């Protein structure tokens, strides 16, 4: 009886050792799933448009024996400039800065004070020449701009983005065909950014204004990275 129990115990030990040392684990021995079969391309889309808005800045600098006198003179002059801007069709008029600073002579002594004030304004590109002339006529002695842009910039960018996706699809189709494959659905898309850039092609000109403004066509571009599955 003891011999039988000993034989059984040895048998159980051998089975346990076999499990520890390694019978094949059929569940864990499966090959990993293959990676998705896909292709990734970058598409570029662009649209052109003539800008219809102009952003400008108008400043006034005045001088006086005291800071108070310089500021008072500046306030009077700037009120005239702002009124002229409104009457000439400018909009979104906003103060950019106001400053007062001393003027000094050759020996460093204060000889007076200067005050400056600057406002920004937006106008239709076609009205920009008249707006500039009106502001200068009213006393503006510091003018910068115009910065030309399109009022529908967001819509133009969306059009460029759509063209970028179309371009990506055409590129992917060409690559897939060369490999003897065909495109499946889009799996991922990543949008890239872009800025409108001037193309310097004249599209319109203010012929009767003393300050000529010539808007050129602007190109709005967009990029997108697209991944397609392959069949």
Say how many domains are in the chain. 2
Asked if the structure places residue 134 within a domain, the reply is: yes
Residue 158's SS3 state is helix
Domain's final residue, options 149, 173, 206 = 149
Same domain for 159 and 217: yes
The CATH number assigned to the domain holding 192 equals 3.30.110.170
The CATH number assigned to the domain holding 88 equals 3.30.70.2970
The span from the CA of 130 to the CA of 148, in Å, is: 15
Lowest mean pLDDT among 164-173, 175-184, 200-209: 200-209
Look over the chain and give the mean of its residue pLDDT values, rounded to a whole number: 82
Same domain for 77 and 44: no
Domain's final residue, options 86, 118, 149 = 149
Q: Is the pTM of this model over 0.75?
A: no
CB 60 within 8 A of CB 116: yes
The helix-helix angle for 67-87 and 128-137 (nearest 10°) equals 150
Q: Is the per-residue pLDDT at 213 higher than 50?
A: yes
Q: Is the per-residue pLDDT at 11 higher than 50?
A: no
Domain's final residue, options 109, 128, 149 = 149
Same domain for 58 and 139: yes
**Residue labelled with tokens 């500039």:** 132
Q: How confident is the model at residue 218 (pLDDT cuts 50, 70, 90)?
A: confident
Q: Partners of 186 in the beta sheet?
A: 228
Asked if the structure places residue 31 within a domain, the reply is: no
CB 134 within 8 A of CB 194: no
Domain span holding position 159:
38-50+152-230
| H-helix segments, the chain | 2-21, 67-87, 128-137, 153-178
Asked if the structure places residue 24 within a domain, the reply is: no
Compute CA distances 53 → 11, 40, 56, 123, 170, whole Å.
93, 38, 10, 6, 35
Same domain for 113 and 162: no
pLDDT in tens, 90-136: 999 999 999 999 998 888 889 999 999 999 999 999 999 999 999 99
Same domain for 162 and 136: no
Compute CA distances 100 → 52, 64, 108, 113, 225, whole Å.
35, 11, 17, 7, 52
Rg (CA), the chain: 37
């Amino acid at each position: 009886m003891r011999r039988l129990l000993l034989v059984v115990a040895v048998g159980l030990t051998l089975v346990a050792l076999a499990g520890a040392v390694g019978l094949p684990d059929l569940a864990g021995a499966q090959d990993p799933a293959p990676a998705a079969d896909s292709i990734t391309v970058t598409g570029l889309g662009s649209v052109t448009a003539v800008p219809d808005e102009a952003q400008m800045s108008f400043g006034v600098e005045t001088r006086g024996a005291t800071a108070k006198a310089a500021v008072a003179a500046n306030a009077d002059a700037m009120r005239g400039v702002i009124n002229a801007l409104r009457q000439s069709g400018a909009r979104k008029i906003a103060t950019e800065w106001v400053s007062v600073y001393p003027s000094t002579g050759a020996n460093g002594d204060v000889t007076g004070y200067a005050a400056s004030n600057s406002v920004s304004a937006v106008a239709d590109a076609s009205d920009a020449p008249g707006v500039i002339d009106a502001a200068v006529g009213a006393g503006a002695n510091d003018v910068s701009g115009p910065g030309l842009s399109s009022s529908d910039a967001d819509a133009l960018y969306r059009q460029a983005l759509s063209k970028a996706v179309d371009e990506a699809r055409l590129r992917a189709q060409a690559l897939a065909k060369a490999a003897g494959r065909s495109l499946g659905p889009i799996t991922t898309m990543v949008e890239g950014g872009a800025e409108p850039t001037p193309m310097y092609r004249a599209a319109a000109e203010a012929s009767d204004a003393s300050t000529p403004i010539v808007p050129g066509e602007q190109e709005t571009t967009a990029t997108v990275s697209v991944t397609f599955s392959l069949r």
